[in-house]
Amino acid sequence: MEKDVEIGIFGGTGIYDSGLLENPQEVDIDTPYGKPSDTITVGIFNGRKIAFLPRHGKKHTIPPHMINFRANIWAFKELGITRIIAPSAVGSLKEELKPGHFVLPSQFLDFTKSRKGSFSEEGRVIHISVADPFCPELHSSIVQVADNQNMHIHKDCTYVCIEGPRFSTKAESKFFRSTGADIIGMTLVPECQLAREAQMCYASISTVTDYD
């Protein structure tokens, strides 16, 4: 099995094939938590070994509340990955965050219900701080690349994560806006906190698709 992969990328809605990797190979991994969402594509990009996994599966067959987040993170850890970049599609809770804009969340509000959100279980208790859930090193790198490409990216934003797969009611949307949060989606949690438990550097890049 590959053990020297540097960076892992989770594909979100609309991103099922990286299409950028040289010499791609499909890697099938079993974990103590079952299978990941799909086989993992490992290849080279700009001289670095990268792994790509679409969290909904290559054919988008897995709804957000049924993603095996623990298996996905565990599989990346098995490959030796230390940094994860996680694109996702989100709705906007603020007028100034328009469809097509990029957002770099720095905080989250968790409104998920049924997901297995920890590797902590009987015989292995894990307490982590998620006061600052995302990796400052990756955040800085993403902002620098965006600046170099003259791409505007909204920073210091809060992501509301809901259970899905349904969207919000009007009353729920009104409540979420009242919290001061900026964007809303269905996949950030528990992905980011599992990465923290696994001591992996994690950052999410959200693309606004509509208003919530």
Sign of CA dihedral 186, 188, 189, 191: positive
d(C-alpha 55, C-alpha 9), whole Å: 10
Residue 30 · residue 58 · CB < 8 Å: no
The answer to whether residue 110 is catalytic is no
Catalytic residue among 28, 30, 147, 210: 210
The answer to whether residue 28 is catalytic is no
d(C-alpha 38, C-alpha 140), whole Å: 30
d(C-alpha 144, C-alpha 159), whole Å: 21
Catalytic residue among 38, 110, 182, 212: 212
Q: Which residues contact 193 (CB under 8 A, 6 or more apart)?
A: 117, 118, 128, 130, 133
The β-bridge partners of 100 are none
Residues assigned a catalytic role: 210, 212
